[in-house]
């Protein structure tokens, strides 16, 4: 049964914002819960290298990334609920499998399956939001949706540090909590998302089919490619931080216990006001979206340098707060709004699937590459430098391609 708009008096597009925000919370509780627990996981499955532990995140993102384009196409053809709900059921089962794992290989398999299931979300979520939310409110609304990522990341990091490191519960408890949270979201989606029919008019479908080649080519014009690469750089730095910041703080900066989770969560919590503020500005000054994007990307790169160059914990925490305020979660709603303004409405699912495929492919590389750097040099600092450099290069390319817009 779907939630009746007449009964609640709340417009459907506002319900969509709340549901999609909750979906990101569930996803990010899972994504951030494991990384602070690598030492505890190794106590139960045996000691492994940083590269091998980083591969846990890479397996998840490999499955997640591989599902982006197929899921986006299926969303356009079959509808969101048909794709999203089975995907989240698989996601919940995978989290439960990880909790029951006794070997690193089983955790790899569970992480990969979790990525496949979770891969149904992005295309469904942003095709739904781009279609339902008024264009003049799209940037701010997307920021509110994306704030679920920050809230979920904070809950996952702090929850892991508190329940496992401080209280002493087994690390598997976090995966049980994730599995239950994901199942709750299945019920929310089943009840709250309206069943969508791709087109109500057969005549319109016939006309659009004739234009299909033009639409497909528009997915890979130079402006879209620049946006895809920009998102790659944005995600590379972010997922390097998400995966390895807790370990960096513990091993190279001397943070301990609950301080690790709270310090890492600063990135997430600082992102919420940054995302709301800059996305509101981008809605108000639509012609300045490219300028906002460039400023935020370069500022985020600068904050990565500040984090690793900080001589003391105070400056390091300031760098983390400013990275959260100016980084991925702040700039992502503006980029998504930029894509939504440019993409064909009939191909929203496919467009966002391709967009997120490029972005999330970096999340496969960043954990493993930084882990290998750490194994070979004994430090993760070079991983921060590489992430900042990628961010700068892709931002400049985006500016060059779009400077005449």
Surface-to-core class of residue 93, CB atoms within 10 Å of its CB (0-12 exposed, 13-18 middle, 19+ buried): middle
Per-residue pLDDT tens over the stretch 259-313: 777 777 788 788 888 888 888 888 788 778 888 899 999 999 999 999 888 888 8
Name all domains of the chain by residue range, CATH numbers in brackets: 10-192+201-400 (1.20.1250.20)
**Number of C-beta neighbours around residue 101 at 10 A:** 19
Band the pLDDT of 207: cuts 50, 70, 90.
very low
Establish how many alpha carbons lie within 13 A of residue 295's alpha carbon, considering only the half-sphere containing its beta carbon: 12
Distances (CA, A) of 66 to 186, 239, 335: 22, 17, 21
Q: Which residue has the higher pLDDT, 347 or 173?
A: 173
Confirm whether pTM is higher than 0.85. no
Predicted local confidence at residue 29, as pLDDT? 93
Q: In the structure encoding, which two tokens stand for residue 7, read together?
A: 């009964």
Q: What is the pLDDT of residues 349-372, one digit of tens each?
A: 677 778 888 888 887 788 788 888
**Number of other CB atoms surrounding residue 283 within 10 Å:** 21
Which carries the bigger pLDDT value, residue 399 or residue 167? 399
Q: Which of 61, 150, 126, 107 is nearest to 369 (CA)?
A: 61
Q: Mean pLDDT over residues 240-266, rounded?
A: 79
The CB-side HSE value for 180 (13 A sphere, CA atoms) comes to 6
What's the pLDDT score for residue 199?
39
């Amino acid at each position: 049964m779907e939630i009746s708009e007449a009964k609640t008096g709340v417009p459907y597009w506002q319900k969509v914002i709340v549901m999609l925000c909750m979906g990101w919370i569930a996803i990010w509780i899972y994504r951030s819960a494991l990384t602070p627990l690598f030492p505890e996981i190794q106590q139960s499955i045996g000691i492994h290298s940083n590269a091998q532990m980083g591969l846990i995140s890479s397996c998840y993102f490999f499955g997640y990334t591989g599902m982006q384009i197929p899921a986006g196409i299926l969303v356009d053809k079959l509808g969101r609920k048909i794709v999203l709900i089975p995907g989240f059921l698989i996601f919940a089962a995978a989290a439960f499998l990880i909790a029951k794992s006794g070997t690193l290989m089983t955790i790899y398999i569970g992480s990969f399956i979790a990525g496949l299931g979770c891969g149904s979300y992005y295309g469904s979520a942003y095709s739904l939001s781009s279609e339902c939310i008024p264009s003049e409110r799209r940037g701010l609304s997307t920021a509110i949706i994306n704030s679920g990522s920050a809230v979920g990341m904070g809950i996952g990091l702090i929850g892991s540090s508190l329940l496992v490191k401080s209280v002493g519960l087994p690390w598997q408890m976090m995966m049980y909590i994730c599995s239950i949270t994901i199942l709750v979201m299945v019920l929310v989606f089943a009840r709250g998302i309206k069943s969508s029919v791709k087109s109500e008019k057969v005549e319109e479908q016939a006309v659009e089919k004739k234009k299909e080649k033009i639409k497909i080519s528009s997915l890979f014009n130079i402006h879209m490619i620049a946006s895809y690469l920009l998102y790659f750089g944005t995600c590379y730095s972010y997922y390097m931080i998400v995966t390895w910041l807790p370990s960096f703080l513990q091993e190279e900066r001397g943070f301990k216990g609950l301080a690790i989770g709270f310090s890492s969560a600063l990135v997430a919590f600082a992102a919420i006001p940054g995302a709301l503020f800059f996305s509101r500005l981008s809605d108000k000054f639509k012609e300045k979206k490219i300028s906002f994007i460039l400023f935020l990307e370069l500022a985020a790169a600068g904050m990565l340098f500040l984090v690793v160059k900080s001589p003391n914990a105070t400056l390091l925490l300031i760098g983390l707060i400013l990275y959260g305020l100016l980084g991925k979660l702040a700039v992502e709603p503006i980029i998504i709004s930029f894509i939504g303004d440019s993409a064909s409405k009939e191909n929203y699912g496919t467009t966002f699937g391709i967009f997120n495929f490029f972005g999330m492919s970096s999340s496969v590389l960043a954990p493993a590459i930084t882990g290998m750097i750490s194994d070979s040099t004994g430090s993760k600092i070079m991983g921060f430098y590489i992430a900042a450099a990628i961010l700068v290069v892709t931002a400049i390319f985006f500016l060059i391609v779009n400077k005449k817009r």
